[in-house]
Structure 1
């Protein structure tokens, strides 16, 4: 008997999703893409863990889920998402009731292989109990990378899920889900997966490699990044695996939440504004300077303000900034920085702020309201990333009339042009300093500055645009024969 298929349905599996849990941009995507797909007529279910502190959802089902020798009674809590999408939160306190999502003090939990294999098995078992199978299983990053592997192996002959097409989205190739090979039997996979053309990676297993090899189609989060990850420079050792699947790899630029990030109705800024009336931006600038304890008099408001909201790590270009620290002090600009990361970079910005309390403000931590205020109040936004799969802040910045200064990589190169910002190509301190100098010089040319602001504010970075591209991928996957 042929299985019943919901022809426009997608089961998404991810380790984090707004509004439930977030450590990075993955959660933003899983908070915004499902409603956008639902607006296009798709039935969308997102499955993610019910971590400590998450109280959302109503219990709709409970049954045992087995991974290797581990068996737990999993609770399935349903929570509504906008536009009739829904989330299913997997409740398993032994695995998810912990201090953090992935590990503590930069040390991963030792059982992450089991934790995320369990997430995938629970999601697939839940889908298998529905009246109709999903037409697509769309999984995100290494944490869900074993879903295509399970569908090829454990579920190959399943009456409901057998033959289900999969899409695997790589949000950041640097995170590869590496574990010792003895995890294979503990997550119900055979030793035949421990080969170079399956999951083996330098004598370990990689959940990411499993997803890349077995998914029907692959996507990543910008067209440029899709090309970059096929090179030795930015492939993190996976460039050969990805080149082998280049015909199945597509870059789709992430969108942004244009309701949450909208200067015309942002609840975190003092006055609304738009490309037709930018007067409210000055009020935001004064407010952010005051929040940082910096001067906010007429002279300070005339001085360009450079903002950064970022993880303070090498990937985000903080090594370049460290080399330029003395040069930054000499620029005719003020700086406000918000973020956490490596202690040496946190200490650097704290020291710079202490040395120039009239020009530099630093906050170590994360504050959503302050992030919005920085985007609105800054004149320039600095993103000198070494690599950047997509990036969201440059898109937030342009929407707020804040001019981005970026390194031409990944999604930064796909979104910022000389008509909307300032770009440097060499990853070097002089190149970054040169781009900043050009931007500061342009700030004095009011007519050109306004043109940059308005060009950025009229760009379409909505998730509705991105969702249409994902639908094309789903439709393409449905036409494919199942991978061997």
Structure 2
């Protein structure tokens, strides 16, 4: 572990945090609290941070003082040959001076639920919501003209971002030097998403070697796809299936092992500096 003084070398680096869930906007989970705490710690060390999350309908806009950013809203994203309007909202986390951007669309995010209906069944359009979220983040960052050094992805709904950056947006100069880190979390959902996911990804002319994994869109396969398209991964949970553990080993990816809550913020920042940014020289 390096000293905090050495971590100051991260000052003024830009890290984009993209998470399915973030406290205080959604209930506290391993995912929502980790995403928030890591971003907060990096911010406190002089790192320039931006946080992006979906604007789920359960988020209380009045209490959290969300407001629409007209200059960023107004474009349409093509999802499986459909025009879907992109709405961008923003809020500041109290006391932290950290900005959180919310990707919104009435069709995908207005419902008063996150991933499942009242019968605890996954929404059939979760696949399209994932694609919309990934594209919405990228298009907004382009409009902000804010080139991140690191993009840190948390949660399965954010985890198509690595393949979209690698393929669909590969010609975008703003991301030319960005390194993608994906945090893997366990037991986020059971079963599988809409089997149409793979065809909707291919509609965007994405057909790299990892796409066939999405033929059976379980949580584990979605994570495998993210692993293959990320520069580094972080184990955000303390255990995974033997199959996923073996997949991580077989693909020889740069990994930060699971960190307990008391150490993770410093360990993540250290990992960025020592392992992720160094990849730029490789």
**TM-score normalised by structure 2 residue count:** 0.81
Determine which structure has more spread, i.e. the larger CA radius of gyration. 1
Q: Are 1:470 and 2:268 matched, yes or no?
A: yes
Q: 1:181 to 1:110 in 2, by over 3 A?
A: closer
Alignment correspondent of 1:438: none
Structure 1 residue 220 displacement after superposition: 1.0
Structure 1 residue 173 displacement after superposition: 5.5
Structure 1 residue 46 displacement after superposition: 1.2
CA contact (8 A) 2:56 2:112 kept: no
Q: Distance in 2 between matches of 1:171 and 1:130?
A: 29
**TM-score normalised by structure 1 residue count:** 0.49
Q: Are 1:38 and 2:38 matched, yes or no?
A: no
Q: Are 1:160 and 2:174 matched, yes or no?
A: yes
Alignment correspondent of 1:204: 216
Deviations 1:69-110 (A, max 9, x none): 232222211111242221101221210111310012221000
CA contact (8 A) 1:252 1:470 kept: no
Q: Distance in 1 between matches of 2:188 and 2:56?
A: 24
Aligned residues: 258
Structure 1 residue 145 displacement after superposition: 1.3
Q: Alignment partner for residue 221 of structure 1, among 222, 236, 257?
A: 236
Q: Distance in 2 between matches of 1:178 and 1:221?
A: 21
Q: Are 1:102 and 2:115 matched, yes or no?
A: yes
Task: Give the alignment's Cα RMSD to 1 decimal.
Answer: 2.7
Q: Alignment partner for residue 50 of structure 1, among 47, 55, 77?
A: 55
Q: Distance in 2 between matches of 1:97 and 1:177?
A: 24
Structure 1 residue 478 displacement after superposition: 2.0
Q: 1:93 to 1:133 in 2, by over 3 A?
A: same
Structure 1 residue 153 displacement after superposition: 0.1
Q: Distance in 1 between matches of 2:160 and 2:214?
A: 18
Q: 1:154 to 1:482 in 2, by over 3 A?
A: farther
Q: Distance in 1 between matches of 2:20 and 2:45?
A: 24
Higher relative contact order (CA 8 A, sep 6+): 2
CA contact (8 A) 2:126 2:194 kept: no
Structure 1 unaligned blocks of 5 or more: 1-5, 256-460
CA contact (8 A) 1:113 1:179 kept: yes
Alignment correspondent of 2:80: 68
Q: 1:174 to 1:51 in 2, by over 3 A?
A: closer
Q: Distance in 2 between matches of 1:239 and 1:478?
A: 24
Structure 1 residue 139 displacement after superposition: 0.4
Structure 2 unaligned blocks of 5 or more: 1-10
Alignment correspondent of 2:7: none
Q: Distance in 1 between matches of 2:129 and 2:188?
A: 20
Q: 1:168 to 1:213 in 2, by over 3 A?
A: same
Q: Distance in 1 between matches of 2:133 and 2:214?
A: 25
Q: Alignment partner for residue 243 of structure 1, among 245, 249, 253?
A: 249
Q: 1:168 to 1:144 in 2, by over 3 A?
A: same
